Amino acid sequence: MSKVQRIGVFTSGGDAPGMNAAVRAVVRACIYYKKTPFGIYRGYDGMISGEIKELNSRSVSNIIQRGGTILKSARSAEFRTPEGRKKAYESLKKHGIDAFVAIGGDGTFRGAQIFSQEYDIPVVGLPGTIDNDLNGTDFTIGYDTAVNTAASAIDKVRDTASSHNRLFFIEVMGRHSGQIAVRSSIAAGAEATMIPEEPMSIDDLIRILERGADHKKSSSLVVVAEGGETGRSINIAKEVQERFSHYDTKVTILGHLLRGGSPTVADRVLASQLGVSAVEYLIDGKTGGMLGVVNNQIKFTPFDQATQNVHNLDPEMMRIAAILSV
């Protein structure tokens, strides 16, 4: 019989739509396999302070369609210290928790890796971040919803851009990843995409915009990935405006809008699949890695590989975006 009987689940780092669906799946799978699920509130901070509650099937009713996370999320400075992690371990032991599921991004997994090396407690991670910046999964939970939100916002900006002969810079989140930018740019038919993985010079951008103006485009949309520097589109827009005055230039920063909203079907299903698998992997004695879906198959990737040298932007997507912007 599996040693694992009492399983904790928490959400950590930046929240992402679909985290609730993942929590629900973990809880329901625990009940299915006759394990006791526990919700750990406010990420590692709540683990340290003992904000832990036993959950049941009804605790996760009516949440699959809701954005945010019912367990709340946090960034915990204290968990980065050995003393903080000792307190976290003591809280888990106090509740008899013998394994847990960590839903978050790369930082969450780095923390989980260190913790599971220091203390003998099995942990499986689920990729919960809108940025799609982890190895070992085609998509992270929340990415599809964020891209859909970005695309529909860009559609709306296009209506006003084309009514006034305007050039719009639309900045999207993604930290150091251009994944949200590229996919939403293709989906909404933007003229250019600026991402950290393949930096574009202002000269190149102006050439694209001039070509659009020559082709009698009444407006132009440029999607800018924040690249870890919120507001960077403002400086880009200023520089372009000084050298290219064909259009009136405006900036829209979508920011945290992309974190909210009801998760798409793709995110709900991904979260459900991964939540069930996480419980099954823990029961089977697996630990120390993240679960993802690659080519429709569940894949286990050790934490250090999931978080290191992430270069998962598909160059084919950039090629398609460039062809379609002529």
| Residue ranges binding ligand ATP (CB under 6 A) | 12-14, 44, 75-76, 79-80, 104-108, 110-111, 114, 129, 131
273: left (phi over 0), alpha (psi -120 to 50) or beta: alpha
User: Closest CB to ligand ATP among 42 and 166?
Assistant: 42
Q: What's the closest the beta carbon of residue 99 comes to ligand ATP, in angstroms? A: 18
Residues for the chain: how many in total? 326
User: Closest CB to ligand ATP among 141 and 236?
Assistant: 141
Q: What's the closest the beta carbon of residue 232 comes to ligand ATP, in angstroms? A: 18
Q: How many CA atoms lie within 13 A of 274 on its CB side?
A: 39
* Measured CA distances, 61 to 65, 197, 261 (Å): 10, 40, 18
Strand 123-127 to strand 166-172: parallel, antiparallel, or no bridges (unpaired)?
Answer: unpaired
Q: What's the closest the beta carbon of residue 42 comes to ligand ATP, in angstroms? A: 11
User: Closest CB to ligand ATP among 76 and 249?
Assistant: 76
Q: What's the closest the beta carbon of residue 67 comes to ligand ATP, in angstroms? A: 14
The rounded distance, in Å, linking the Cα atoms of 312 and 318 is 12
User: Closest CB to ligand ATP among 295 and 309?
Assistant: 309
Residues 209 and 167: beta-carbon distance below 8 Å? yes
User: Closest CB to ligand ATP among 140 and 249?
Assistant: 140
CB atoms within 10 A of CB 67: 20
Instruction: Please tell me whether residue 159 adopts helix, strand or coil conformation.
Output: helix
Q: What's the closest the beta carbon of residue 179 comes to ligand ATP, in angstroms? A: 12
Active site residue 144: no
Catalytic residue among 15, 98, 106, 131: 131
Beta strand segments in the chain, E? 6-11, 36-40, 52-54, 99-104, 123-127, 166-172, 192-194, 220-225, 248-253, 289-294, 297-302
Q: Which residue is nearest to ligand ATP (CB)?
A: 107
Instruction: Please list the active-site residues.
Output: 131
